[in-house]
Chains A and B, each alone.
Chain A
Amino acid sequence: MTPAARRGINIVMSGVAALAAALVVLPLLVIFGFLLWQGASAVNVDFFLHLPKPVGEAGGGMANAIVGTLILVVLAAALGLPLGIFGGLYLAESRDRRLPWLARFVADVLNGVPSIVIGIFAYTVIVLPMKRFSALAGGFALAVIMLPIVVRTSEEMVRLVPSSMREAALALGIPEWKVLLRVVLPTARAGIITGVMVAIARVAGETAPLLFTAFGNRFWHQGLDQPIAALPLQIFAYAIAPYDDWHRQAWAGALTLIGLVFVVSLAARVVTSGRFTGVR
């Protein structure tokens, strides 16, 4: 091949790669732009501070849904993160073969289960015995969705911690459980947080599993054993309603949801970048 031909191919291939990269970013930019265009006009102070107005009245907001989504995500995180992170640590560190193999397989299958099925599951094990829809049931459903993502990313991140770290700590006469909790986990922290953020972003936008667990509510939340509003549910309800004002509010809700996920991810990055980080 002549040098000129090689340079030519180089330029063409670089161009193709750059184009692919640009196309990857495009959908997010288009979605975000569209949301801004459609939703920005409905975003105002009332939207963040007020309850929905009764049908037929203009104005009002989705404050209850914003708070509801935050509560549901916190509930899901409280249930799912400890289980997921410690489960991942076990999968990465265990010398046993069978249990980790089974757990990994189950996690991967669970990751592929449609979220509406997980909603039905939560309905069966929590809503039916309690005889009512509740925030708890919604949080539980979201936790189940988070679990496989958190388990598998935690496992991968713990695996990335060089064995020299473990050996150095063990050789200092530190008991193995402390080596794992105080040396290995902190070293994997940055990567685990990324996985956690992905999981939170994923569940914050879930609608299907909340339909018959959290159920939705047009008022402020009234306890964890009561139905609770959530942004995705409210967006769904408003988007299929026949009112223009509600459509605009649905767009604003979608914009808020994206903004919320963005802010949470950013905050987690800022909070955890204060100390030295290990594996990324």
Chain B
Amino acid sequence: MADGILVKDLNAWFGDHHVLHDIGIAMAPKAVTALIGPSGCGKSTFIRCLNRMHEVVPGARVTGGVRVEGQDVYAPGVDPVQIRRKIGMVFQKPNPFPTMSVFDNVVVGLRLGGMRERAVLHEAAERALRQAALWDEVKDALGKSGVSLSGGQQQRLCIARALAVEPEVLLMDEPCSALDPIATAKIEELILELRSTLTIVIVTHNMQQAARVSEATGFFLLGELVEFGVTRQLFTNPRDKRTEDYITGRFG
């Protein structure tokens, strides 16, 4: 199987600190995979290894293999810029660019990728904003500052920004942890819609959220992937004692 995300023997370090140990995982294409685990367990580091964002941090190092939709992400000669175009990312805190309008935020990836035709940019902006379920709310305010939107809108703007470059994979690093329940529900709805066209990996601290949106779930603990399987099974009938302790709240 070439599609999806295939990770083999992945190890990651920050300086001398070994944060991920021999991670192996196969995530299905056009599906949602959730990653859960306590803070500091390496979930975020793991997804940052998938689009080569881990190495952006000074002193950070990765070994092992990652194949995303058939491409070897860490093959010699592979340009991380090209990898990141194929693999979009949404961060914990909404981070629209403060100097740009709503429109400019959405098309920034295309524009700085060299696209100058206005018609193409407009079409892409509308498509991405519709996909992110934000179009109806901002279609009359495309010239307003991106940071003038509400927190939930800002996060959907960031999702639209990531979708505008038409990635094959979307990585979401606790995308709802800074949002209220209503905005969270909107993002979850969005994830369920997007999964027919994209491979999605979502890191979350909210186990109900993982259960609601994902087909498969992985449980991380202290830099190791303890258990990975079908979401329902992992939550109702975990194989590992540590998983059971965590999901029942008997941990730490």
List residues of chain A with CB under 8 Å of any chain B CB. 95, 162, 164-175, 178, 182-183, 186-187, 189, 275-278
Contacts and interface: CB of A to CB of B under 8 A. Distances in A.
Interface in B53-81: 53, 56, 58, 81
A187 B99 contact: yes
B28 to A, nearest CB: 23
B112 A178 contact: yes
Given A167-B53, A276-B147, A172 B109 contact: yes
14 contacts: A95-B58, A165-B98, A167-B56, A168-B161, A171-B51, A171-B162, A172-B108, A173-B81, A174-B81, A174-B108, A174-B113, A187-B97, A276-B99, A277-B98
A28 B113 CA distance: 49
Contacts of A182: 112
Given A168-B91, A182-B112, A276-B147, A173 B82 contact: yes
Contacts of B99: 186-187, 189, 275-278
A254 to B, nearest CB: 38
Contacts of B88: 171-172
A172 B56 CA distance: 13
B108 to A, nearest CB: 7
Given A164-B91, A164-B95, A167-B53, A172 B100 contact: no
B109 A174 contact: yes
B165 A172 contact: yes
Majority SS at the chain A contact face:
helix
B162 A172 contact: yes
A187 B165 CA distance: 22
B93 interface: yes
B121 interface: no
Interface of B: 51, 53, 56, 58, 81-86, 88-89, 91, 93, 95, 97-101, 108-109, 112-113, 145-147, 158, 161-162, 165
A189 B81 CA distance: 25
A164 B97 contact: no
B95 A173 contact: no
B113 A173 contact: yes
Contacts of B100: 276
Nearest to A189: B99
Contacts of A186: 99
Contacts of A175: 81
Nearest to B110: A172
B34 to A, nearest CB: 20
Given A167-B91, A276-B147, A174 B112 contact: yes
A35 B113 CA distance: 54
A175 B83 CA distance: 11
Nearest to B108: A172
Which 6 pairs show the lowest CB-CB distances between chains A and B?
A: A173-B85, A171-B89, A173-B84, A172-B109, A276-B145, A164-B95
Nearest to A174: B112
Given A173-B165, A276-B145, A276-B147, A168 B97 contact: yes
Given A164-B93, A276-B98, A276-B145, A170 B53 contact: yes
B209 to A, nearest CB: 22
A37 to B, nearest CB: 44
Contact of A276 (B51, B89, B101, B158): B101
B158 A168 contact: yes
Contacts of A183: 97, 108
Contacts of B82: 173
A276 B56 CA distance: 28
B149 to A, nearest CB: 12
Contacts of A171: 51, 53, 84, 88-89, 91, 162
Nearest to A277: B99
A232 to B, nearest CB: 36
A170 B108 CA distance: 11
A5 to B, nearest CB: 44
B69 to A, nearest CB: 15
Contacts of A164: 91, 93, 95
Contacts of B146: 276
